[in-house]
Each structure stands twice: as C-alpha cells, then as structure tokens.
Amino acid sequence: QITHRLRLSDVDEPLDRFLTRAGSLGDRLGPILWQLPPRWSADAARLEAFAAKLPRDLVHAFEFRDPSWLTTEIRRNLEERGLTFCIFDMPGLACPKWVTADVIYLRFHGHGQRYAGRYGREALEPWADQIRRWEKHGHLVYAYFNNTARGHAVEDARELHRLCRAVS
C-alpha cells in the first residue's frame, strides 16, 4: 500500500500503523524494505519527504525497480539520511552496488530466470567474496532470496552462508 498504491504520498496513517506493528518484533526486527514499483519514474522530492518521516533508529532499505531512480541525486539523498540502497540481482535489470549506509541489503530475485532460477555455488561465490570485503570494512550485510517460484531460496541462502563463512 505505502509504496505501490500510495507511492510514498499521504502515508502518515498507514506508515504509523505499519511501524507500530513492525515494532512489536522488538530486537528481532531487521531492515525494513521499501520496494518502489517498476514503471514509477523517480521523484526525488517525494522520496525525501517520505524519508523524513522514517524513524532513524530503524534500518530502512530502498529497492528501486525503475532505472530513473539510479541517479547521483537519489544516491546522495540516501547517504545523507543514512538509508540503505538495496542492491538486487534480477535478470534483465542492472543494479549498481551502491553502499549508502553501514547496513547493506541484498536481494536475489533468481539467476537466469526471475523468481525461479537457482543460483548455486558458481553464481554465489563472487557475491560471497564481495560480502566478506564489505564485512571487513565494518558493514553489516543482509541477504534475501526471492527465487521462491521453484523452491530454490532456502538452499541458495544456505549456500551463500556457507560460502561467506569459508576461509578464502
């Protein structure tokens, strides 16, 4: 509702309701993902107004599906507010590996096939190497697998975890 229907506008009541419910998770609450829909062109002013409403004691990650959002202005806005840019891997869409905050949030949407493709060891090894580099620089990295259509998410998450913990 907040991102796809309201597109970050007139969100005070639903945002308050969502944050109250999310807050019930207490210290188990990780990053909150705000995924902006494809075919919604960048609106820096609206993003800035929305970001100003977000509590700073929570981690907020933004996933931009429309390439028009991938600008220096948007990146700077996230950096200045300590908001996380969601780095995603999805067939057919290019995504920069911007680090805009101490927390890094990765989303894997399927290797070779959206929401269905299996990554496996070979595709995940470069990501594991990158994650280890980010962690050495003090970043906390979250990875989320959204390749659930054929049930690959859990095994890919386990494989990435094994690779990240392996000594290089």
Q: In this structure, is residue 95 part of a structural domain?
A: no
pLDDT, tens only, 129-153? 999 999 999 999 999 999 999 999 9
Name the residue range of residue 109's domain: 102-168
Among 85, 120, 138, residue at a domain's last position: 85
Does 68 share its domain with 113?
A: no
Q: In this structure, is residue 96 part of a structural domain?
A: no
Q: What is the pTM of this model?
A: 0.94
Does 59 share its domain with 132?
A: no
Token pair of 118 as six digits: 């299996």
**Predicted local distance difference test score (pLDDT) of residue 168:** 55
**Predicted local distance difference test score (pLDDT) of residue 75:** 98
Q: Do β-strands 84-89 and 32-36 pair in parallel, antiparallel, or remain unpaired?
A: unpaired
Q: Which residues of the chain have pLDDT under 70?
A: 167-168
For residue 117, CA distances in Å to 24, 75, 94 come to 34, 29, 17
Contact 165, 143 (CB under 8 A): no
**Predicted local distance difference test score (pLDDT) of residue 61:** 99
Look at the chain and report how many structural domains it folds into.
Answer: 2
